[in-house]
Amino acid sequence: MYGNDFSAEDAPGGGLLGEVEAAEVALREAAERGRRVGAPGPDQDLAAYFAEVIEADQKIEPRDWMPEAYRKTLIRQIAQHAHSEIIGMQPEGNWISRAPSLKRKAILLAKVQDEAGHGLYLYAAAETLGISRDELVELLLNGRQKYSSIFNYPTLTWADVGAIGWLVDGAAIVNQVPLCRCSYGPYARAMIRVCKEESFHQRQGFEILHTLTHGTGAQKAMAQDALDRWWYPSLAMFGPPDTDSTHSAQSMAWKIKRFSNDELRQRFVDMCVQQAEILGLTIPDPGLRWNESRQSYDFTQPDYDELMRVIKGDGPCNRQRAEHRRRAHDEGTWVREAAVAYAAKRAEKKEKVAA
C-alpha cells in the first residue's frame, strides 16, 4: 500500500493525478491551437474582451489587459501560496537532523527542497503580474502578506512529519488540482508540476504513518496522536466556510478558483476516511458518518474562530516562524550580494570581450 494512489481509476479521491494530466494536456492543446477568441480589435472594449476570454475558458496571459482587481487577487493568492511553501519548510526542516534513519533523512531533505522549489515557481508566476520578488519577500517579512495557517502548528514528534505529508500535502493537492485549470496561464502551468510533486509528498507521509501503525504499540499511539492534533487544522486550511469567504464568489466568476472552500473540504474528508481505515487510525471526529443521500461523509467542522486567530498572528508558532524567516533572510544577505556582484562581473567581462 503506497498511500493514496492518485493515478488509479478507483483511488479514493477519484484519481486526482489523472485530473492534473488532463489539465496539462488541455494547456498544451490550447497553446498549440492559439486563442479561439481572436485578438481585440483597436476599438474593442478591453474589459469586454477579457470577459470573453474568461467565458471561453481560455487563459489570460501576462501581456493581456486585465482588471486591476483580478491582478490584485492573483498577486494576493499566489504570493500567499508562495510564502506558504517557504514558511512550510520550517516545521519539517525541524526534523531533518532527527529523522530516524539515513534514508528517512535523505527523503525528508529532498521533500523540503521541493517546497523551496515550489516557492520559487510561485514567486516567478507572481512576478509576471508586475510585482518583484524582493517586494513580495518584504511583504512577508513585515507581516503584510499571509501564509497558510497550518504552518503555525508545531511538529512535536516524528509522526507529525508523516501527518504533514499525508494530511497537509493531501489537502494541498485537493486544493491545487483545480488550480491547474485556473484562468491565469502562468499560475495554472506552475500548478501542474507542483501537484505532481505534492503527490509524492503525500505518499511519503502516508508511508511514514503506515510504518508506525504497523510497528510497536507506542509507535501506533504516536501516529494516532499526530492525527488527533493535525486533523482539524488540516480541515481549516481550506479557508473559512463559504458563507464567510470574502473572495470566493469573485474568484470563481473569474475562474481562478473552480470549487468553493467547503466543496474542497468535503472532497478531502471523503478521501481521508478510507485512507485512515487502511492505516488503522481513527479520525478524531465522533460526528463522522456516511450520508447515503449526499454520497459523502458528514463531519464536524473545524473551529473557525481558531482559524481566524491563527491567521491574525495568534497561533502556537506564528512568532517563531516569522522570526526564523527574518533571521534566515538576514543571514542570507551576503549570498544575495555575492550573486549580484558575480552577475555584474560576468556582464562586465562579456562587454569587454564584445568591445
Considering only residues 19, 24, 115, 160, which one is a binding residue for ligand FAQ as defined by CB under 6 A? 115
Residue 285 has φ and ψ, to the nearest 5°, of: -140, 105
CB of 245 to ligand FAQ, least distance (A): 3
CB of 143 to ligand FAQ, least distance (A): 12
Going by the DSSP 8-state scheme, the letter that residue 184 receives in this structure is B
237 binds ligand FAQ (CB under 6 A): yes
CB of 43 to ligand FAQ, least distance (A): 35
Task: Please count the other Cβ atoms lying within 10 Å of the Cβ belonging to residue 312.
Answer: 11
User: DSSP letter string over 100-154?
Assistant: SSHHHHHHHHHHHHHHHHHHHHHHHHHHTTT--HHHHHHHHHTTSS---GGGGS-
Nearer to ligand FAQ, 188 or 220 (CB): 188
SS3 226: helix
Nearer to ligand FAQ, 175 or 220 (CB): 175
- The answer to whether 88 and 161 have CB atoms below 8 angstroms apart is no
Nearer to ligand FAQ, 240 or 284 (CB): 240
Nearer to ligand FAQ, 35 or 146 (CB): 146
Task: Please count the other Cβ atoms lying within 10 Å of the Cβ belonging to residue 281.
Answer: 23
- With contacts defined by CB under 6 A, name the span among 32-40, 52-60, 162-170, 285-293 that binds ligand FAQ: 162-170
C-alpha–C-alpha distance, residues 70 and 184, integer Å: 10
The stretches of 158-292 forming alpha helices (DSSP H) are 158-163, 170-176, 185-213, 217-236, 248-253, 261-279
Nearer to ligand FAQ, 115 or 127 (CB): 115
Q: What Rg do the C-alpha atoms of the chain give, in angstroms?
A: 22
Total residues in contact with ligand FAQ, by rule CB under 6 A: 29
CB of 82 to ligand FAQ, least distance (A): 8
3-62 residues in contact with ligand FAQ (CB under 6 A) are none
Task: Please count the other Cβ atoms lying within 10 Å of the Cβ belonging to residue 112.
Answer: 19
Which residue of the chain is nearest ligand FAQ when measured via CB?
88
Instruction: Provide the mask over 258-277, with x wherever binding to ligand FAQ is found by CB under 6 A and - wherever it is not.
Output: ---x----------------
Exposure class string for 187-225: b at 16+ Cβ within 10 A, else e: bbbbbbebbbbbbbbbbbbbbbbbebbeeeeebbebbbb
Cα→Cα distances 289→85, 280, 285, 297, 299, Å: 33, 17, 9, 5, 7
Nearer to ligand FAQ, 53 or 177 (CB): 177
Nearer to ligand FAQ, 44 or 113 (CB): 113
Considering only residues 71, 105, 146, 324, which one is a binding residue for ligand FAQ as defined by CB under 6 A? 146
- With contacts defined by CB under 6 A, name the span among 7-15, 233-241, 283-291, 324-332 that binds ligand FAQ: 233-241
C-alpha–C-alpha distance, residues 84 and 141, integer Å: 13
Q: Which residue has the cell 483580478?
A: 70
Instruction: Provide the mask over 164-203, with x wherever binding to ligand FAQ is found by CB under 6 A and - wherever it is not.
Output: x---xx--x--xx---------------------------
Instruction: Provide the mask over 63-92, with x wherever binding to ligand FAQ is found by CB under 6 A and - wherever it is not.
Output: -------------xx--xx--xx--x----
- The answer to whether 188 and 255 have CB atoms below 8 angstroms apart is no
Going by the DSSP 8-state scheme, the letter that residue 168 receives in this structure is I
Instruction: Provide the mask over 270-309, with x wherever binding to ligand FAQ is found by CB under 6 A and - wherever it is not.
Output: ----------------------------------------
Name the residues that contact ligand FAQ, by CB under 6 A: 76-77, 80-81, 84-85, 88, 115, 146, 148-149, 164, 168-169, 172, 175-176, 237-240, 245-248, 251, 257, 261, 311
